Structure 1
Amino acid sequence: MKNKKIKLLLFIIILNAAGLFFGSAALAQSEADNLLWGGFESNVQETTGLGNEDPREIVAQVINILLGFLGIIAVLIIILGGFRWMLSGGDSERADESRRMIVSGILGILLILAAFAIAQFVLNSLYNATNAISKL
């Protein structure tokens, strides 16, 4: 009884291993010219007015634009803090507030750069995982 179970288990393992090594590709359907919208690209493009831009690229562009605007805001905060510091007129309380503003702006830029690096890593990893050519 135990010998039969071992033989059956060994047969199943060999059969599965043979299937892994000698399996063939499924020849169910040929690839469409444009797989972006699943063959319905003309209907989607006409309805939405978006064109045939890859949705991943659209998301990447939106992320880059938002991070760019946030970077501009952080630089403006640093500049505003510098002006306030120069115009504090010797008032130590206003000067300290201006220094905190400058430090906050610098920390904001560092966070934005970190977010940009993480976003680029994630987007490039997604492009590589889907075997697409990265245009970032």
Structure 2
Amino acid sequence: MTNKYLNALWTSALALSASAVPAFAQKKVEEGKINIGAGAPSDVVRDLTIGTVVSVAIRVLVIVAAVLFFFWLVLGGIKWITSGGDKNKTEEARQQITAALVGLVVVFSAWAIAQLIKILFDVDLFNLQLSRPA
């Protein structure tokens, strides 16, 4: 029964994440010219560096991890509520809630450490500016 709900949740999340895609390909190109990436904003393509890719990846990982652990916590709460007093089910739900809370603490600790690094060493991991070696 839980797998049924998890499959529905994953399918819904996948459908929602794939549904809002911008249409950059609608920009007109002059006849006779080949303009690769014509619809994309020029500053996005020009300013794309390894630092920005890493920064975006870190942000996305932190957000996705926090959301997943939160949903894991909610599912553990639902398991606890629907356990009906069964000791095994209640213990399983308690372990799931504990694991979700530990996961949330780890994610927010990683975020706090990144903020501490930003303050102490002036290195913003969420907005990396990597330069090429001279």
TM-score normalised to structure 2 length: 0.52
Contact kept in structure 1, 2:73 and 2:101, CA below 8 Å: yes
Distance between the aligned counterparts of 2:46 and 2:82, measured in 1? 51
- Which of residues 47, 51, 70 is equivalent to 2:46? 51
Distance between the aligned counterparts of 1:72 and 1:59, measured in 2? 20
Distance between the aligned counterparts of 1:105 and 1:133, measured in 2? 29
- Which of residues 57, 62, 67 is equivalent to 1:62? 57
Is 1:72 the counterpart of 2:53? The answer is: no
SS of 1:56's partner is helix
Distance between the aligned counterparts of 2:118 and 2:52, measured in 1? 9
- Which of residues 80, 90, 95 is equivalent to 2:90? 95
TM-score normalised to structure 1 length: 0.51
User: Are the structure 2 counterparts of residues 71 and 133 from structure 1 closer, same or farther at C-alpha, using a change threshold of 3 Å?
Assistant: closer
User: Are the structure 2 counterparts of residues 99 and 74 from structure 1 closer, same or farther at C-alpha, using a change threshold of 3 Å?
Assistant: same
What whole-Å deviation, never above 9, does each CA across 1:35-76 have from its counterpart, x for those lacking one? xxxxxxxxxxxxxx9422343233122101111000011001
Using the aligned pairs only, state the percent identity. 24
Q: CA deviation at 1:122?
A: 4.0
The 5-angstrom pairing of residues 103-118 of structure 1 reads 103-118=98-113
What whole-Å deviation, never above 9, does each CA across 1:60-118 have from its counterpart, x for those lacking one? 22101111000011001100001111111110111011011111101100000111222
Structure 1 segments unaligned to the other structure (5+ residues): 1-48
Number of matched residues? 84
Is 1:86 the counterpart of 2:81? The answer is: yes
SS of 2:46's partner is coil
Q: Report which structure shows greater RCO (CA 8 Å, sep ≥6).
A: 2
Contact kept in structure 2, 1:85 and 1:98, CA below 8 Å: yes
Output the amino acid matched with 2:75.
L
1:8 aligned residue:
none
